Structure 1
Amino acid sequence: MSKKESYTFKDYTNKVLAGTAGAIVIGLIANAILGGIFKALIPYGSIFGTLAMVVSTMQFLTPVLVGVLVAMQFNLNPMESVIVGSATFLGSGAYDATDAGIMLVGIGDLVNVMLISGIAVYAVRALQGKLGSLNLILLPIIVGAGVGTIGLLTLPYVSLVTASIGNVINSFTQLQPLLMTLLISIAFSVLIISPISTVAIGIAIGITGLGAGAAAIGITACTAVLVIGSRKVNESGTTLAILLGAMKMMMPNLVRHPQIVIPVIANAVLSAFGAYILNIQGVPETAGFGIVGLVGPIQAANMGTSILLVAIAYFVIPFVGAIVIDLLFTKVLNLYDHEIFKFVTTDN
């Protein structure tokens, strides 16, 4: 019998991040690309309503996908991988139990999703070869139901992380408008490549007006930096995925190369000035999206800003800024090279 490979805490962290990054792209990209289009086409045919429902529902599978892809990072077999996916979903917070039955409410708390996927993998590996002929019966119970229950118990405490960050960001709204715009833009630009949900925070704190606009602009600023950096070292499909909304696939890069926040914050500051001067507005439901599905720009236009000014704030300033910052930081100041933007799907 071959010796089981041992992993350090760092190995677990990197592999969980890598699996999560891939799962987020798979789970969210269909709705990010097609959701808005299908919704707009509903008046022209009922099939588009069905298609919109399908791509939207696909997002709810994200916790399962995280669990399965994290398990695959550790070379678990198909059955073990599916059980890890089940445990991850059960502990994700992606559903509510109501009198009417189970109701899906989102993709869950991503921090808890990552925590439970790691625990589930650890449990499966610890039990390998110890359950004998009862493996098929006991593994789903011990890991699927057992670790899933642990996830529900940790969820309220892990969710406090998101709530605490939301409270800090909410305090920014009490500041002078320009300072508020700068701080909110910076905060959301960094959060979008972290496990924290920008959409959840935007809705939870009820951020609106210029604050919501600044949040969306900050996310856009990060998107622009990632796109410009990614195109140098990644395949075009990876860069396109980032542009279309898969910024969180860069979470492993944030851990491996923390200096990635330098250009992100710089562009968030630059773009925030544009948002302030052009008075870009938003609502809680659009604060966490940036340019994904054109949600932010459309909302800003609906709230009175001209389409030209919206285009300048959401596309011209962030992307031109990202190009200038990229040249300045990589060619002039030599603060980093483009390898920090390299998307790696495995840590083997």
Structure 2
Amino acid sequence: MTEPQPSVHPAPPVAAVPPRLSAGQFTMNVLNGTAIGVVAGLIPNAILGELFKYLATLNPVFTAGHQVVAAMQFTVPVLIGVLVGMQFRLTPIQTVVVGAAAFVSSGIAKFTEQGVMLAGIGDLINTMLTAAAAVLLIRWIGNRLGALNILALPVLAGAGAGLFGLLTLPWVRLVTSSLGELILTFTTLQPLAMAALIGAFFAMLIVSPISTVGLATAVGLSGLASGAANMGVSATFALLAVAMWRVNPIGPPLAVLLGTAKMMMPNVARKPRLLIPLALNGLLAGVAAALLGIQGTPFSAGFGSSGLVGPVNSYGLMEGDTPGRLIRLVTAYLIVPFLGAFLLHPLMLRLGVYEPQDLRFDP
């Protein structure tokens, strides 16, 4: 007879310890997730928004198309949260919890007596902070709660990080309001100096987490100030597209040219000196805006050439015949930004301000 074997009890599960990350790598993961989320959420409207808006006047079916691409912008905070989670190789439930926390703290949803209203893409800085907080909570919790994780994660990491984000949102918005006050001081200067400074400022701002459109709307930029802001943003589109062309496949430069320059935030964070040529090209574009009389409205400022919002509004505010207005627009939004880009990019390479590989987009 065989002797009975002693019963073997499985060892209790040990909470998985996620690999340690440096502060720099953690930050880059958040920035990379944000960059891809911005591209995914904004590109459809940047390409098709104005086209569908025009075609809707000819056929109502395009109204629905315009609504679809416009509404996709509202998903940007969720996309950022999900993609940040994917950068950290989280599980599916952990990833969507980060997305949910990022959405509720972005400020995109406003609670009114008529219900919840969605507006814009939210505050990207706060969205990133909340996504980072959710990831930290999830990494701390790990598998400590075992089978209860599916219940605990949405509450502890999702609602907890979301509440943290809602509490920080008013303070984070102070950054935007402070920058707005700085821009308002520019508007007190004589027109050429004002346009140059606003062009340079917005050229740098478009590669930061701060919304150029939200900031311009908040301070009510109009007239030449609005035109200079759009020209600065367009100058960055042109310079980045030129600088990225040889070190990337065709997709990333075209995406930047269409209006998603924020996808280059990780590159600027790694190499802040990239801001030097952006500011210089924005300054040149701002001067051109003053000389050519490029104007805009508070609601068109900050878009640049994205979706043709800036050029279309500038055209409507111009005086003179159609050929003359078109020549000024082409000069302002195409010739000046690209001329500056083709001059500044090789100069910056020769001076060692940055290397070609610094412009490689690695999602």
CA–CA distance in structure 2, aligned partners of residues 182 and 47 of structure 1: 42
Choose 1 or 2 for highest CA Rg: 2
- Asked if 1:322 is matched to 2:322, the reply is no
Residues 281 and 340, structure 2, Cα contact 8 Å, conserved in 1: yes
Identity of aligned residues (%): 45
Q: Provide the residue aligned with 1:282 in structure 2.
A: 296
User: What is the aligned length?
Assistant: 344
Equivalent in 144, 147, 155 of residue 161 of structure 2: 147
* TM-score (normalizing by structure 2): 0.93
Aligned residue runs from structure 1 range 166-177, under 5 A: 166-177=180-191
CA–CA distance in structure 2, aligned partners of residues 159 and 273 of structure 1: 30
Q: Provide the residue aligned with 1:63 in structure 2.
A: 77
Gaps of 5+ in 2: 1-13, 320-324
Residues 18 and 142, structure 2, Cα contact 8 Å, conserved in 1: no
CA–CA distance in structure 1, aligned partners of residues 276 and 180 of structure 2: 22
- Asked if 1:203 is matched to 2:217, the reply is yes
CA–CA distance in structure 2, aligned partners of residues 203 and 262 of structure 1: 26
CA–CA distance in structure 1, aligned partners of residues 168 and 330 of structure 2: 43
Q: Provide the residue aligned with 1:266 in structure 2.
A: 280
Give the counterpart letter for 1:173 in structure 2.
T
Deviation, 1:3, is: 4.6
CA–CA distance in structure 1, aligned partners of residues 108 and 77 of structure 2: 8
* TM-score (normalizing by structure 1): 0.97
Equivalent in 297, 307, 310 of residue 329 of structure 2: 310
Give the counterpart letter for 1:324 in structure 2.
L
Q: Provide the residue aligned with 1:245 in structure 2.
A: 259
Q: Provide the residue aligned with 2:360 in structure 1.
A: 342
Deviation, 1:131, is: 1.2
Q: Which moved more, 1:81-90 or 1:293-302?
A: 293-302
Q: Which moved more, 1:299-308 or 1:184-193?
A: 299-308
CA–CA distance in structure 2, aligned partners of residues 255 and 75 of structure 1: 22
Residues 234 and 304, structure 2, Cα contact 8 Å, conserved in 1: yes
Give the counterpart letter for 2:296 in structure 1.
G
Residues 141-162 of structure 1, C-alpha deviation per residue, up to 9 Å, x if partnerless?
Answer: 1111121111111100011111
Runs of 4+ in 1 over 6 A off after TM superposition: none
Deviation, 1:237, is: 0.7
Residues 98 and 131, structure 2, Cα contact 8 Å, conserved in 1: yes
Residues 95 and 106, structure 1, Cα contact 8 Å, conserved in 2: no
CA–CA distance in structure 1, aligned partners of residues 173 and 339 of structure 2: 36
Residues 89-115 of structure 1, C-alpha deviation per residue, up to 9 Å, x if partnerless?
Answer: 011111101112111112110000000
CA–CA distance in structure 2, aligned partners of residues 239 and 221 of structure 1: 14
Deviation, 1:185, is: 0.5
C-alpha RMSD of the superposition: 1.1
Equivalent in 311, 314, 317 of residue 300 of structure 1: 314
